């Protein structure tokens, strides 16, 4: 059964990569040469590349992002809903970050990663300091509006929605989409997602030479868990030798958060844009399990890939 599920997931990755390449090749050759770097750069375009594309198409940044939404939607893995959502986030740096919904067969729907989460986690893991704009090819659900409400730019972020059924594109503030919201301030929190923050953790000396453990540890140190204060990080070693990691992104409303493994799965999906087959061969979670623990859920998810989770409590 594990072999079947792993094969199925690999076939899905191949299919989505083929669609991704097809969407890119639909653009003029001059633009395709730049867009091909989205895969190599694991789901992003630099500010300079975005500027070049704006010149090619004679578009504003917002209009360029709308034009590229089909490329973002091609990243989606949606074997359950077969509903493909794409999101592009613009950072204060000018860089553009791509995201899409990622669903997991045989797992509770709770672990589904929404497209907005995917793009935000992509930007956060790449060191972006703040987001100024999100462009979406469908209206964000309440879950995602709450997740956006956790950002350090929640009060200023511009959200542009391509209402496909109406054939129009509209701009909103988060207050338009989530009036009378509940957020971090209601719990007396000043830390916000994407703001600099670190947990004071100590890695046992026995793991000093273990790169996979050290990567998971760094993810835990830099995660966002202001409510439960139970930091967690996950590192996945791929067949190619590449290591991808994920940090816990908690939420004041709890449920819209992303676990450390879910965040790592985003980065694995983005890594697969360049390489069709790069299976997970090893996984490590580093966690300080104070009020909550992500271990059991992560262990269950990884079993679908035939991978045993190594767990280190600090």
Q: Which of 187, 219, 253 is the last residue of a domain?
A: 187
Query: Does residue 149 sit within a domain?
Result: yes
Nearest C-alpha neighbor of 87 from the set 38, 131, 135, 122:
135
68: left (phi over 0), alpha (psi -120 to 50) or beta: alpha
Quote the pTM value: 0.94
Average pLDDT over all residues of the chain: 92
Query: Does residue 138 sit within a domain?
Result: yes
151 shares a domain with 47 = yes
226 shares a domain with 149 = no
CA trace torsion 167, 169, 174, 175 (10° rounding): -80
pLDDT for 76-119, tens place per residue? 999 899 999 999 999 999 999 999 999 988 888 888 999 999 99
Query: Does residue 100 sit within a domain?
Result: yes
The C-alpha angle with vertex 79 and arms to 37 and 280, in degrees rounded to 5, equals: 60
CA distances from 166 to 9, 83, 86, 88, 138 (A): 34, 18, 17, 20, 11
Q: Which of 140, 158, 187 is the last residue of a domain?
A: 187
pLDDT at 10 over 50: no
pLDDT for 177-215, tens place per residue? 999 999 998 998 888 999 988 999 999 999 999 999 999
Q: Predicted confidence band at 16 (pLDDT cuts at 50, 70, 90)?
A: low
CA dihedral over 32, 47, 272, 20, signed as positive or negative? negative
CATH number for the domain harbouring residue 180: 3.40.140.10
- Per the structure, the complete domain to which residue 91 belongs is given by 2-187
Q: Which of 126, 153, 187 is the last residue of a domain?
A: 187
246 shares a domain with 128 = no
156 shares a domain with 42 = yes
| Overall number of domains in the chain | 2
Query: Does residue 144 sit within a domain?
Result: yes
**How confident is the model at residue 4, as a pLDDT?**
42
Known catalytic membership, residue 116: yes
216 shares a domain with 131 = no
Nearest C-alpha neighbor of 21 from the set 279, 276, 277:
276
- Kindly name the residue from 42, 90, 103, 116 that is annotated as catalytic: 116
């Amino acid at each position: 059964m594990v072999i079947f599920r792993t094969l199925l997931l690999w076939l899905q990755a191949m299919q989505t990569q083929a669609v991704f390449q097809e969407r890119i090749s639909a653009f003029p050759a001059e633009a395709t040469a730049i867009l091909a770097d989205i895969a190599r750069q694991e789901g992003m375009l630099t500010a300079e590349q975005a500027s070049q594309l704006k010149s090619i198409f004679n578009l504003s940044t917002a209009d360029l992002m709308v034009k590229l939404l089909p490329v973002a939607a091609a990243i989606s893995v949606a074997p359950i809903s077969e509903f493909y959502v794409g999101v592009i986030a613009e950072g204060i740096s000018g860089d553009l970050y791509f995201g899409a919904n990622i669903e997991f067969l045989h797992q509770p729907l709770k672990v589904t990663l929404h497209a907005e989460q995917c793009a935000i986690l992509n930007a956060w893991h790449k060191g972006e300091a703040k987001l100024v704009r999100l462009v979406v090819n469908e209206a964000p659900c309440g879950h995602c509006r709450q997740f956006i409400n956790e950002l350090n730019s929640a009060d200023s972020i511009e959200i542009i929605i391509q209402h496909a059924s109406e054939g129009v594109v509209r701009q909103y503030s988060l207050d338009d989409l989530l009036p009378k919201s509940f957020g971090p301030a209601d719990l007396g929190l000043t830390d916000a997602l994407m703001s600099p923050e670190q947990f004071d953790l100590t890695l046992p000396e026995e793991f000093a030479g273990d790169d996979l453990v050290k990567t998971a540890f760094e993810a835990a140190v830099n995660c966002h868990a202001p409510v439960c204060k139970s930091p967690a990080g996950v590192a996945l070693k791929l067949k190619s030798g590449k290591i991808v990691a994920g940090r816990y992104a908690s939420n004041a409303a709890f449920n819209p958060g992303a676990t450390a493994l879910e965040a790592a799965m985003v980065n694995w999906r983005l890594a697969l844009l360049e390489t069709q087959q790069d299976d997970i061969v090893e996984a490590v979670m580093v966690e300080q399990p104070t009020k909550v623990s992500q271990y059991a859920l992560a262990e269950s998810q990884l079993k679908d890939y035939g991978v045993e989770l190594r767990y280190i409590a600090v």
